[in-house]
Chain A
Amino acid sequence: NSKVIQTPRYLVKGQGQKAKMRCIPEKGHPVVFWYQQNKNNEFKFLINFQNQEVLQQIDMTEKRFSAECPSNSPCSLEIQSSEAGDSALYLCASSPGHSSAETLYFGSGTRLTVL
């Protein structure tokens, strides 16, 4: 079973509010991913890190999404001004390496509801 810990399990916000969720990757895994899973089971890759450095991210030109993985602290994903369309399950995953063959180990997710 995965040891990726995500908090909170559920998050309810009003439109325009900040929404912040956290992820503790599996011990020894330097690579962390964030995915968004909507109600239609469509997955959207958001960003990934190796240690504290961003490897890849989608075009966050809306600038509403930000993420970080500071050393010795949980990783976090924050939505500055939530919109109804942001309602989804946000999945954090970690892996022992960054090759395409690596297995991703997923947390249970944070389910965000924007009212």
Chain B
Amino acid sequence: AQSVTQPDARVTVSEGASLQLRCKYSSSVTPYLFWYVQYPRQGLQLLLKYYSGDPVVQGVNGFEAEFSKSNSSFHLRKASVHWSDSAVYFCAVSIGQVVGQLTFGSGTRLQVYA
């Protein structure tokens, strides 16, 4: 069975700073990898996804993520955060034989202060 670990429950950064949110996965096969964001009182929105190709994938709102097979990681990055990026970020994986069923990490709450 697959699993996802987000080791940082909370991250606090100042506006304009760079950001990295960590995600490590465990799976017997290379999974599909996703980052979702959840703003207060809202559902989840997709930031980006990856399965193959260039290990650096671009997403919405200036986010990107880098896949590392050797490290079983899929870290999310942003060069310069804005206060509106404050939210909870979830890394998730999906494997081929399970029809669209996602396994989520426990989330990282990002607080951006001015």
Contacts and interface: CB of A to CB of B under 8 A. Distances in A.
B43 A31 contact: no
Given A41-B88, A100-B94, A95 B43 contact: no
A60 interface: no
Interface string A81-105: 0000000000101010111111111
A6 B51 CA distance: 30
Contacts of A33: 100-101
If over half of A's interface residues share one DSSP class (helix, strand or loop), that class is named, otherwise mixed; here it is: loop
B32 A41 contact: no
A91 B49 CA distance: 20
Nearest to B46: A103
Interface string B33-74: 010100001111110010100000000000000000000000
A73 interface: no
Contacts, number: 72
Nearest to B97: A100
Given A101-B32, A101-B51, A109 B102 contact: no
B107 A41 contact: yes
Contacts of B49: 101, 103
A104 B102 contact: yes
A108 B41 contact: yes
B99 A100 contact: yes
B114 interface: no
A106 B99 CA distance: 16
**What are the 6 tightest A-B residue pairs by CB atom distance, in nearest-first order?**
A106-B43, A100-B94, A43-B104, A41-B107, A106-B44, A98-B99
Given A41-B107, A101-B94, 7 more contacts: A6-B43, A33-B101, A43-B103, A56-B99, A97-B100, A100-B99, A103-B46
Interface of B: 31-32, 34, 36, 41-46, 49, 51, 88, 90, 94-96, 98-104, 106-107
Interface of A: 1-2, 4, 6, 31, 33, 35, 40-43, 45, 48, 55-56, 91, 93, 95, 97-109
